[in-house]
Every structure is written in C-alpha cells, then in structure tokens.
Amino acid sequence: MKHSTLSEPVVPDRDTRQASIRGWKRTCPNCGKGPLLQGYLKVRDTCAVCGEALHHHRADDGPAWLTILIAGHLMAPLMLFVFEMWRPEGWMMAVGFSAVFTVLALYLLPRIKGGFVGFQWAKRLHGFGNPG
C-alpha cells in the first residue's frame, strides 16, 4: 500500500501476478470474469461485467516482440533436434516449421497481449490508476 502525503490519497496495491494471469486468460484484470478482448487483439474500452476502464493500455509492439522471442527460442532447439535425428529435406523443414511457428505465434499473441494489459493495470500505468 502506498503511503499518503498531504496531497495524495492512499491507494491500495493491486496483485500483479493475479492481474497478469487474468490477462493471459484474456479476462478483465479487475474482476477476472469479463472478456478482455473484442475480437482477436482489440482490447475492449470497458469490462462488460465490472465496468473497469481498459482503454488506457499501451501494449504497442511489446506483445509481438515477446511472442517472436518465445516462439523462436522454443523452435530453434526443436529444429536442431529434428534435423540431427532425421535429416529431412530443407524444404520439408521450412514448410513444417513455418507452419508450427505460425500456429504457436497465433496462440501466444493474444495471451501475451492480455498479460501486458493485466500488468499495466496492476501497476497503474498509462492512466489505469487515475480516478474517473
């Protein structure tokens, strides 16, 4: 809990872990019940259940960057393993791993974006802490 000064009211801390997990699940970081996203990646302006304002988020390129970083680090050892074990043709590896990478990235991207929004909400970044 933040300490109050004469000009600043006491503001309770928010659980960062819980908010990030709720974001990963693509639910509202405040109540955990309402949907966070409207469509594939569009964050709702407000939660349909609790009314929490969600339009303050500034995820920008962070989720895409982290998605590529994670998927790339998962795929690189897998590609090396497959190549060393079975020695498939180059075109087979390119097609196969491109498809796997695409599916993995499409799975991770909205979840990571939700985690970013949940983290920002919990830390009161970009206007999430402003009353009204």
Q: Is the pLDDT of residue 36 over 70?
A: yes
Q: What is the pLDDT of residue 12?
A: 84
Q: Which residues contact 50 (CB under 8 A, 6 or more apart)?
A: 28, 30, 31, 33, 34
Residues in the chain: 132
Q: What percent of the chain has pLDDT over 70?
A: 91
pTM, 2 dp = 0.89
Q: What is the pLDDT of residue 6?
A: 59
Residue 129 CA: distances (Å) to CA of 13, 41, 62, 99, 104: 10, 23, 21, 41, 33
